Structure 1
């Protein structure tokens, strides 16, 4: 069933300004509120997070400049062939977001990928990482084509990590790691994160309604956490965990971060924190189409994925396990988990 969720299901809002205060009790209350949202919903709006409004405006401005380039210019920085390197420009249809995982190179895996790709994801993206990660080399548009883009995005990448790192510290405090707020953060150097610029082009609504195309099917993220910035187009939906199969719109709160728990943090926390399904569908009916030909509005969003370093071992946080609640997952490295998921997506 794909319907509208009950009114009782809401994405909470947390004011992060208290985290920058010296008041220990205020910081603990904020951390507990944040963790409660991660337990109950898996998604939370974070306001007063520390990223300037002008910086976010500039990020969207650069994203629009990038995607307005000719296809020839965008293809000067193409996503490398295969799934191992996840950087550069991905054209509509290259990527197929899925919840499925493969274990190797079997015929069953090939059939799975073939079936998934019968419906094209109609979006284009540009992925950026740390310049210090030799295993994931960035693919840049030439400076002469888009001057200033590389410098801005490198700076924006690390500004996002500063805020994301503080969110991870608050989560650690909220789950009971009172004496080690850096427990999760210390596995994140920042060099394995991913900044993604996304553009959903305007397409005939019929293509989406007939399911010949999709914007982004329901999925969870592979990260520890994801920080999302979005425009006012609409379309992001979060699964109502009280009514599986129904989705609630994650409407824009200006200058907020929509933060969600990723698969690795759910595993780390022994299912204490929830990695929730979400998707990008048609926007609300009132904002859905433009013109007599029922063409969708184009949509821009910028997710930032915080991921542990590849050799980091994802094993249960001590505060999230007990004799009555033993660890549910076998330890796995970030690199191993990433391989399982990425081999289907590209």
Structure 2
């Protein structure tokens, strides 16, 4: 089954009159209420720049393993930058303080078969970037730094649309919370793999999880495989087909907490590609297609206190969650992803 996540023309918000901007904003919010996801076309990120980002991503992951290892993700979870080899990170819905170490150990028995590279702001001293040496891939650092800030500007427009769509006093309400320096650009490669490993449950591409920031921008290739939890049948996952030239945007846990779950943080995963594109065959061995995607995780300053916004709480609808800082919530989640 495929989902019918709404596809919305974002140019109406970027270039429209106040009435049109409000209409687009409310449509986006309604998609987030129902699915937690929306697909935005005619967004402000140049399509040529998106294509270049995928070209650079493939060039990086095509490097020999010893070259990629020159930009290693540090041990532990506090410094979330650099390269992680397949199986290094395990994504899940586990939370420190709620779930046990035995739950973590059990979850990690089935690895995520993906490799990733994490990039942040060059002006975030607590999370310095770990770049591959320039002579190995000249131009990579320069392009990715520029692309990071292109997506930061796009994210600020989405934050304005959210403020309008949920009825806050002005569209710049979220501006003090989002400096752009605390977001994360992730390059992802799901390598070709023996199909039996996935079919028999000995590995997955990405386990079911919710993002734990405020919202995420996602660019993906045409391979397919993304699935989201059904809004009407919990536990059932439905496929999300890629939309050409669109950016998929989804709500994360912090924005759900801010809105008292008025906006939905939806569990999602990456499974097998669609049947017709699922395998290549070599010598009788069935191999899944490689897949590339580029998520951009948007979040607030670490000291920001996330507590229920006024439109979403009253005597009949008390706040579901206690106030928490972005940093404390992030630690509770990220500490369960890296052993």
TM-score higher than 0.5: yes
**What SS is found at the alignment partner of 2:135?**
coil
1-structure distance, mates of 2:14, 2:292: 30
Q: Counterpart of 2:58?
A: 64
Give SS of 2:124's match: coil
State the secondary structure of the residue aligned to 1:121: coil
1:266 and 2:266 aligned = no
Question: What pairs up with 1:163-242 in 2 under 5 angstroms?
Answer: 163-177=154-168, 179-242=169-232
Partner of 2:286: 294
Task: Tell me what 1:312 maps to.
Answer: 304
Q: CA deviation at 1:113?
A: 2.1
Alignment counterpart, residue 146 of structure 2, candidates 128, 150, 155 = 155
Select between 257-266 and 324-333 the one with higher mean Cα deviation: 324-333
CA distance in 2, matches of 1:326, 1:180: 24
Q: 2:322 aligns to what?
A: 330
TM alignment of 1:239-250, pairs within 5 A: 239-250=229-240
Q: What is the SS of the residue equivalent to 1:77?
A: coil
Tell me the alpha carbon deviations over residues 125-152 of structure 1, each in whole angstroms, 9 at most, x when there is no partner: 0000001011111100000001000010
Shift of 1:250: 1.2
1:22 positional shift:
5.0
> Residue 331 of structure 2 corresponds to which residue in structure 1?
339
Note if 1:98 corresponds to 2:88.
no
How far apart, in 2, do the equivalents of 1:325 and 1:43 lie? 24
Further displaced range: 321-330 or 10-19: 321-330
| Residue number in structure 2 paired with 1:251 | 241
1:42 equivalent to 2:32? Answer no
Q: Give the C-alpha shift of residue 109 in structure 1.
A: 3.3
Q: Distance in 1 between matches of 2:260 and 2:62?
A: 43
User: 1:295 and 1:22 mapped to 2: Cα distance?
Assistant: 47
SS at match of 1:195: strand
Q: Cα RMSD (Å) of the superposition?
A: 1.2
Of 20, 29, 32, the match for 2:23:
29
Unaligned runs of 5+ in 1: none
The answer as to 2:104 corresponding to 1:113 is: yes
Per-residue CA deviation, residues 42-63 of structure 1 (Å, 9 max, x unaligned), is: 0110011111110000000000
Pick aligned residue for 1:138 from 126, 129, 140: 129
SS at match of 1:248: strand
1:175 and 1:320 in contact (8 A); partners too: no
User: Displaced runs of 4+ in structure 1, greater than 4 A?
Assistant: none
Q: CA deviation at 1:14?
A: 1.1
- 3-state SS of the aligned residue for 1:73? helix
SS at match of 1:164: helix
Residue 345 of structure 1: how far off its partner (Å): 0.1
Q: Partners in 2 of 1:42 and 1:78 — Cα distance?
A: 33
Choose 249-258 or 86-95, whichever is displaced more. 249-258
* Residue pair 1:44, 1:260 contacting (<8 A) in 2 also: yes
| In 1: Cα distance, 2:186 partner to 2:80 partner | 10
Please list every run of 5 or more consecutive structure 2 residues that lacks an aligned counterpart in the other structure.
none
Asked whether the 8 Å contact 1:91–1:123 carries over to 2, the reply is: yes
Question: Using the alignment, how far apart are the partners of 1:39 and 1:186 within structure 2?
Answer: 24
